Structure 1
Amino acid sequence: MADPKEDESAQIPTEVPATVEAAVTKKKAPRAKAAKAQPERPARKAVAKPVPATTDASTTVRKARRVYSEKERGQLLGQIEKSIGRGESVKNATSRAGISEQTYYQWKKSAAPASDGGDLKDLLALEEENARLKKLLADRLRKENAELKKKLGL
């Protein structure tokens, strides 16, 4: 006779449910990369544009780049420093002088180390004056001390 347990095992399905197979076999398709919005533009070339003979107030013409001498730079820096000292903003002071803020800061940075030599001379002059004043004070104190000794009879 056939064993009842064998009959049950023969009836057990060996297939996997369809939902599990479908989940395993489905794969996501790779996304297509989006194209750039704007194509790259070629680099600009530095070409001087001719200045038109007549200039209207509506058209703005860029001035040619000007090279300033060290003396002119110093004068403009001084002018801007005075304006800033009066309470004017850096932006207004530099535009009034006819240069950009970046140019002002670059000039200021390059001019700062040049003044170090003058600082050393000033320091030496102050040290000499300090030594002279110390000698003068010591002489006065000696005179006072001598007068006090005479008065006290020492």
Structure 2
Amino acid sequence: MADESNAGPVAATTAATDAEVKVPTAKKRRSPRPQKAASEPAQSKTPAAKRRAYTEQEKSEKLKLIETQVIEGNTLKDAIKSAGISEQAYYHWKDAAKAVEQKDTKGAKPHPAGDELADLVQLEEENQRLRKLLAEKLRAENAELRKRLGLD
């Protein structure tokens, strides 16, 4: 029974220590990270990632090289990689070349109004001929289907 009588004061002291532990304390602060030396340049993942200005002639040569490699059976990504440029640069150059080409073709040869009218008439005649041919084929197919189904 002596143990039971000692339990009371011990419980009281543990409750007091729990109250002391729960008192909020100031948060620890981290020390700032050490800064990298300014003399160290940021290194890129690949040595080919350096930015370089290409002339228009170099751009067109690289685009032609990539196009020939793709025609030969290489994948586009492999061809771009072998040319030593990024995919983003390839698509920018390609779009720029396409815009220049379209600009050149628009101003190169304007059609006289008579030629456009003649072309339009010719296209309309061809359109009518093709429509008649299609109608004949559809009628023949329809007749054949009716015959197979026994509707005629």
TM-score interval, normalised by the smaller of the two chains: 0.3 to 0.5
Whose helix fraction is larger, Structure 1's or Structure 2's?
A: 2
Task: Decide which structure has the larger Cα Rg and report it.
Answer: 1
TM-score w.r.t. the length of structure 2 is 0.43
